[in-house]
Amino acid sequence: MYAHMKKQSKAFSDILILPSQSFPTPPGSTDTVSFPNINREQTLYTLDDDYTFEDNRDDEDHRPLEHIPDPEGDDDPDDGLAEEAEFTSRQGVFFFPPSLEDSEKAFEDLTNILRPPQNKGGGYKDPGLTREMMKCLEGVRTFLGTYIWLEKASPGKRGNWINASTYTVEMRFEKPHHARKLRKWGRSFIDNCKEQPGYNYGKGCKSALDDEDLAQDIHLHLQSLGKFVKAENIVEYCKHPNILERMKRTKTISLATARRWMAKMNYRWKRNHRGQYIDGHERQDVVDYRQQVFLPAMQKYEERS
């Protein structure tokens, strides 16, 4: 048989061999390999991958690996298929950048959205978008315009799509991670020009006071304390275990948060000025005094005059 000798084997690679010199095989074997006729000037040899030598043993299968049947059967759980599937699932999916024609069409649509022309005469109409959405669409338009410019300068060059987003972020003084958002919004707009990008500005923070039931309970608690209330009352109220469970917290809110909550619930800081007039003429004690004391006394004074 012919046994292949590997380059990686330290025993047979880069060996200094002299004429008529022999070297032993691994321990346990009595065979030796000798090279009787070697030129002295050529003493350094490296055995290639395709170098073979004859051997009387023929215990190896030289068929291609895919043609050799699995001794454990086709359903062997240890054949590596699970690991291969897990590795493949972790790999990213490559998406080709949009074509130049689609990008130009999307750029034109964005221009018409941001600067709709007047029905008559020159100028533009109000697009009717929020400031945040205007900023978002302006960024996508600049990004697509930069990509179109790069594609015309170097058609089909690898990296034009990513480089365009990077240049746009640098020009608009945005943070580097914003480039990924521009690429996502750009693809989304090219696929569907009628769908606006999902801009979540100001929607990341949610207050526990947005729960109307909780806000009403705090209102009732503050009203039960009397005429004067303070932010510390809310802090103490939120220490109750049932309130902490409703707010999904482990400790009460801070004093600064309580002050913001009071402002959100339309409570205002106010001084109790001295001599302040309070209209209470319909109170029962005032009505009794007026009917039974004041008016009879005034009637007597009128009779004397």
Query: Can you give the pLDDT at residue 160?
Result: 93
41-50, 182-191, 214-223, 291-300: which has the minimum mean pLDDT?
41-50
Calculate mean pLDDT across residues 106-130: 88
Kindly indicate the confidence band of residue 35, based on its pLDDT and cuts at 50, 70 and 90. very low
**Residue 301, SS3?**
helix
Q: CA 83: distance to chain centroid?
A: 28
Kindly indicate the confidence band of residue 90, based on its pLDDT and cuts at 50, 70 and 90. low
Q: Count other Cβ atoms within 10 Å, centred on residue 233.
A: 17
- What's the count of helices (H) and strands (E) in the chain, helices before strands? 11, 6
For the cut 70, the answer to whether the pLDDT of residue 267 exceeds it is yes
CA distance 204 to 154: 40
Q: 154: Cβ–Cβ under 8 A, 6 or more apart, which residues?
A: 160
The total number of residues written for the chain in this structure: 305
Q: CB pairs under 8 A, 24+ apart, for 149-152?
A: 151/100, 151/103, 152/100
Question: Which tokens is 114 given?
Answer: 């941001």
Q: Where are the alpha helices (DSSP H) in the chain?
A: 81-90, 100-114, 131-153, 160-171, 178-191, 212-224, 231-237, 241-247, 255-264, 284-289, 295-304
- What are the backbone dihedrals phi and psi of residue 15, each rounded to the nearest 5 degrees, phi first? -105, 135
Question: Which tokens is 58 given?
Answer: 């023929």
121-135, 148-162, 240-254, 273-287: which has the minimum mean pLDDT?
273-287
* pLDDT-above-70 percentage for the chain: 63
CA distance 128 to 282: 52
Closest CA to 206 of 247, 234, 173, 159: 247
Helix axes 131-153, 178-191, angle to 10 degrees: 80
Cα 93 to Cα 102, 159, 207, 269, distances in angstroms? 21, 16, 38, 58
CA angle 166, 167, 173 (to 5 degrees): 90
195 Ramachandran zone, left/alpha/beta (phi>0; psi -120 to 50): beta
Helix axes 131-153, 160-171, angle to 10 degrees: 130
Query: Can you give the pLDDT at residue 146?
Result: 95
**CB of 197 within 8 A of CB of 110?**
no
